Amino acid sequence: MGFLDQIGKTFTQGVDRAKFEAEKFQKTTRLQGEVNEFRRQLDAKLMELGQRAYDLQRAGQISAPSISEMSAAVDQLRATVVAKEEELKLSQNDVFIEPMPSPGTPPQQVAITYDTPVAGPPPAAGLRACASCGFQMPATAMFCPSCGARTG
């Protein structure tokens, strides 16, 4: 067998394998979809059966202890859902209410001044004048709050 025949055979085998894998993937995907659909139908029928058993138990037409226990659990869960839905509605309707000032209490005011006298009376105790701009600042300041100059 020649070199080209060997390459042709290898290529054909690769194509056959790819075709097989594609068909396998298609078949398994289709079957998985069918299985999922049947599971969905089964779940729907079980839910319908459960609902009918619940309704019959509530109507007094069947009285199995296990169904009575499950029915009581369903009733409790439904009551909890209703209570939580009401709590949710109340929470969604909450609004922020601004606090009212106490009667007779004036609003607090803070005075802010930006006086920067260049010349004037001597600084008050604990204050000193900036050498660059004359701003009255605390004696312990390292930089002038007005012009930013280093003071010490």
* pLDDT above 80 for 142: yes
Worst-scoring range by mean pLDDT, 14-18, 74-78, 99-103, 111-115?
Answer: 111-115
* pLDDT above 90 for 31: yes
- The identity of residue 17, as a single letter, is R
pLDDT at 116: 53
For 9, 41, 99, 100, 106, the CA distances from 103, given in Å and listed in that order, are 100, 69, 12, 9, 8
Separation of alpha carbons 115 and 148, rounded Å: 15
pLDDT band at 80 (very low <50, low <70, confident <90, very high): very high
DSSP at 147: T
Stated pTM of the model: 0.45
Q: How many CB atoms lie within 10 A of CB 71?
A: 19
Separation of alpha carbons 142 and 34, rounded Å: 81
Section 52-65 average pLDDT: 91
Q: Please name the residue that has the structure tokens 């300041």.
A: 141
Environment class of 79 (CB within 10 Å of its CB; exposed 0-12, middle 13-18, buried 19+):
exposed
pLDDT digit string, tens, across residues 132-141: 888 888 888 8
